[in-house]
């Protein structure tokens, strides 16, 4: 390579490395703000690196897995509640895991089911029964990256049923 | 070591070389896409949770990965243009930018259409979606710079610098779902180990992906050849080419 090209290559690569370092540092500094949600354990114990905890009354998002058996639906209207636990592999739920209860009123996304990942958007409140809880205004389903045909899923015992609503529940909406 | 590449820096040689490649790319794109899309949209089994909605995967994922792949190609062209001052590298970057922008837009739109029924929202400002949106803006910036200057060399330099600076965004898009909590799911296909998809769903995906990649190759080749002709319009070989075609008709 002739010296002029070498010089240009050096300039371009040093600029690139510099920008890469700047971007890396900025993203590192912002990492807690880039996270879309808190996990249930982060709500009680704070973020892993910074110990940052959400305060009561703050609007936050919470993400976790719906604990099987914890979904309670009011038969007369769209009010419901469920517990969320941290997402981790393999999926096992222990009584001692940190869990947060989410209260919600409205129609759930199609992918909502027990054991599914969920992101709820709402206010952190101190509930008289369940302690630190979320009064959610929005519930989003977080899909995982696994795709499989229905027959295969059934043979692995992973069927999926959409939540259904009675006419009575829908009448009392809002 | 790189001596064999030198003839291709000549616009005329590159023009004829891409002309010979084009029929192959076109045939492959037509075959792979027609087989892949029919297989994916009609015959692949429906997903156990999402039903038929998951089929948007076969367009969304190729579009998203190609939007990043085209940007990577543009970044390499920009590096060659800035360091070796190859005029053809500028022409190829100018040819790739609008194609990449369209594929980014397709990825964003199909993702949004899928997100509404599955997640429950059209859009969320999570790291993956936001960084892909930034990629679209980078493409638009590069296109704007290419057409902002009368002098093509100056335009190529300005667009090349933006392209290289923006290439920082590529690893951010790719790893956003691993570094941060996002609503967007992790990678299904492009990861180490076994893909998280059953084989009867994966095969049509591979056809679709390669088919879309070939389609990109076809469109970029056409645009590249047009750029070469437009930038060399006063050269004798282009004039000869045009008069030969005129006589042919």
Interface test with A, best of B43, B49, B126, B185 (most A CBs within 10 A): B49
Average pLDDT of chain A, as a whole number: 81
Which chain B residue's Cα is nearest to A8? Answer: B83
- CA-closest candidate to residue A125, choices A57, A79, A68, A70: A57
**pLDDT at position A160, please?**
65
Partners of A151 on chain B (C-beta within 8 Å) are 45
Q: Enter the DSSP assignment of A133.
A: E
| Number of other CB atoms surrounding residue A11 within 10 Å | 12
Residues sharing a CB contact under 8 Å with residue B130, sequence separation 6 or more, in sequence order = none
Question: Binning pLDDT at 50, 70 and 90, where does residue A159 land?
Answer: low
Q: Is B67 exposed, middle or buried (0-12, 13-18, 19+ CB in 10 A)?
A: buried
Q: Computed from CA positions of residues A107, A113, A115, A117, in that sequence, does the dihedral angle turn out positive or negative?
A: negative
Measure Cα distances from A31 to A26, A37, A41, A43, B74 in Å. 8, 12, 18, 17, 29
Residues A134 and A85 both lie in one domain: yes
> Contact B119/A149, CB-based, under 8 Å?
no
Selected residue with higher pLDDT from A61 and A169: A61
Which chain B residue's Cα is nearest to A9? Answer: B83
Q: Enter the DSSP assignment of B211.
A: H
> Contact B48/A138, CB-based, under 8 Å?
no
**pLDDT at position A54, please?**
82
Partners of B188 on chain A (C-beta within 8 Å) are 145-147
Restricting to B residues 99-118, those with a Cβ less than 8 Å away from any Cβ of A are 117-118
The stretches of A30-149 forming alpha helices (DSSP H) are 31-34, 40-45
Tens digits of residue pLDDT in B116-164: 888 888 998 888 999 999 999 999 999 999 999 889 889 999 999 999 9
Q: Residue A57 above 60 pLDDT?
A: yes
Q: Are B208 and B62 in contact (CB under 8 A)?
A: yes
Q: State how far the Cα of B152 lies from the Cα of B81, in Å rounded to an integer.
A: 12
Q: State how far the Cα of B227 lies from the Cα of B231, in Å rounded to an integer.
A: 6
Residues A50 and A120 both lie in one domain: yes
Tens digits of residue pLDDT in B86-103: 889 999 999 999 999 999
Q: Residue B224 above 90 pLDDT?
A: yes
The H-or-E segment that residue B181 falls in is: none
- CA-closest candidate to residue B173, choices B56, B102, B69: B69
Which among A12, A108, A159 is the nearest to B164, CB-wise? A12
Residues A21 and A97 both lie in one domain: no
**pLDDT at position B193, please?**
62
Average pLDDT over residues B197-209: 88
CA A78 to chain B, closest CA, distance in angstroms equals 16
Residues A67 and A140 both lie in one domain: yes
Interface test with B, best of A106, A146, A147 (most B CBs within 10 A): A147
User: Can you give the pTM of this predicted structure?
Assistant: 0.85
| Number of other CB atoms surrounding residue B103 within 10 Å | 27
3-state secondary structure of B232: coil
- Ranges of each domain in chain B: 58-248
Residues A26 and A44 both lie in one domain: no
Encoded tokens for B220: 């970029």
Q: What is the DSSP string of B182-225?
A: -SS---SSSSSSS-SB-HHHHHHHHHHHHHHHHHHHHHHHHHHH
Q: Are A4 and A50 in contact (CB under 8 A)?
A: no
3-state secondary structure of B167: coil
Selected residue with higher pLDDT from A101 and A156: A101
Domain CATH code at residue A135: 2.40.50.140
Residues sharing a CB contact under 8 Å with residue A52, sequence separation 6 or more, in sequence order = A32, A46
Q: State how far the Cα of A139 lies from the Cα of A123, in Å rounded to an integer.
A: 12
Q: Are B60 and B73 in contact (CB under 8 A)?
A: no
CA A52 to chain B, closest CA, distance in angstroms equals 15
Tens digits of residue pLDDT in B23-58: 999 999 999 999 999 998 998 888 877 878 889 999
Question: Binning pLDDT at 50, 70 and 90, where does residue A76 land?
Answer: confident
Residues A163 and A90 both lie in one domain: yes
Restricting to B residues 147-206, those with a Cβ less than 8 Å away from any Cβ of A are 164-165, 167-168, 172, 179-183, 185-188, 196-198, 200-201
Q: State how far the Cα of A121 lies from the Cα of A138, in Å rounded to an integer.
A: 5
Residues A46 and A92 both lie in one domain: yes
Encoded tokens for B126: 């999570």
Q: Any chain A CB within 8 A of the CB of B76?
A: no
The beta strand positions in chain A, using DSSP E, are: 59-66, 72-73, 79-85, 99-105, 117-127, 131-142
Residues A25 and A46 both lie in one domain: no
Q: Any chain A CB within 8 A of the CB of B26?
A: no
Average pLDDT over residues B225-248: 89
The whole domain housing A158 covers 40-171
CA B176 to chain A, closest CA, distance in angstroms equals 10
| Number of other CB atoms surrounding residue B12 within 10 Å | 16
Q: Residue A116 above 90 pLDDT?
A: no
Q: Enter the DSSP assignment of A98.
A: -
Structural domain count of chain A: 2
Q: Enter the DSSP assignment of A91.
A: -
> Contact A145/B196, CB-based, under 8 Å?
yes
Q: State how far the Cα of A135 lies from the Cα of A103, in Å rounded to an integer.
A: 5
Q: Residue B197 above 70 pLDDT?
A: yes
Which among A12, A119, A146 is the nearest to B196, CB-wise? A146
Encoded tokens for A66: 């719906």
**pLDDT at position B248, please?**
77
Partners of B118 on chain A (C-beta within 8 Å) are 109-111, 141, 143
Partners of A19 on chain B (C-beta within 8 Å) are 165, 168
Count helices and strands (H / E) in chain B.
8, 0
């Amino acid at each position: 390579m002739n010296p002029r090209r070498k010089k240009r290559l050096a300039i371009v690569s040093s600029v690139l490395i510099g920008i890469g370092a700047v971007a890396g540092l900025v993203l590192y500094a912002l990492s807690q703000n880039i996270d879309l949600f808190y996990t249930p354990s982060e709500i009680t114990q704070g973020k892993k690196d910074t110990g940052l905890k959400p305060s009561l009354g703050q609007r936050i998002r919470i993400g976790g897995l719906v604990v099987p058996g914890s979904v309670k639906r009011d038969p007369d209207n769209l009010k419901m509640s469920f517990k969320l636990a941290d997402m981790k592999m393999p999926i096992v739920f222990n009584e001692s895991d940190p869990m947060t209860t989410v209260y919600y009123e409205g129609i759930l996304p199609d992918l909502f089911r027990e054991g599914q990942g969920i992101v709820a958007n709402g206010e952190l409140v101190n509930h008289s029964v369940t302690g630190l809880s979320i009064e959610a205004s929005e519930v989003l389903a977080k899909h995982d990256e696994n795709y499989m045909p229905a027959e295969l899923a059934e043979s692995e015992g992973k069927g999926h049923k959409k939540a259904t609503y009675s006419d009575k529940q829908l009448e009392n909406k809002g | 070591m790189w001596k064999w590449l030198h003839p291709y820096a000549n616009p005329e040689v590159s023009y004829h070389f891409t002309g010979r490649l084009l029929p192959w790319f076109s045939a492959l794109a037509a075959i792979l896409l027609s087989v892949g899309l029919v297989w994916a949209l009609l015959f692949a089994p429906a997903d156990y949770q999402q039903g038929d909605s998951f089929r948007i995967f076969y367009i969304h994922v190729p579009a998203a990965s190609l939007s990043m792949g085209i940007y990577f190609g543009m970044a390499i062209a920009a590096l060659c243009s800035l360091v070796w001052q190859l005029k053809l590298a500028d022409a190829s970057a100018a040819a790739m930018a609008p194609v990449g922008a369209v594929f980014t837009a397709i990825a964003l739109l199909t993702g949004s259409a899928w997100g509404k029924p599955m997640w429950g929202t059209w859009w969320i400002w999570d790291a993956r979606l936001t960084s892909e949106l930034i990629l679209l803006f980078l493409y638009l910036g590069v296109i704007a710079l290419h057409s902002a200057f009368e002098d093509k060399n100056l335009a190529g330099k300005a667009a090349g610098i933006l392209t290289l600076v923006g290439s920082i965004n590529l690893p951010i898009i790719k790893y956003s779902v691993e570094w941060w909590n996002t609503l967007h799911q992790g990678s299904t296909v492009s990861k180490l180990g076994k893909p998280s998809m059953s084989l009867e769903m994966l095969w049509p995906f591979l056809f679709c992906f390669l088919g879309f990649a070939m389609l990109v190759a076809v469109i970029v080749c056409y645009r590249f050849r047009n750029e070469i002709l437009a930038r060399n319009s006063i050269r004798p070989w282009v004039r000869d080419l045009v008069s030969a075609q005129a006589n042919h008709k």
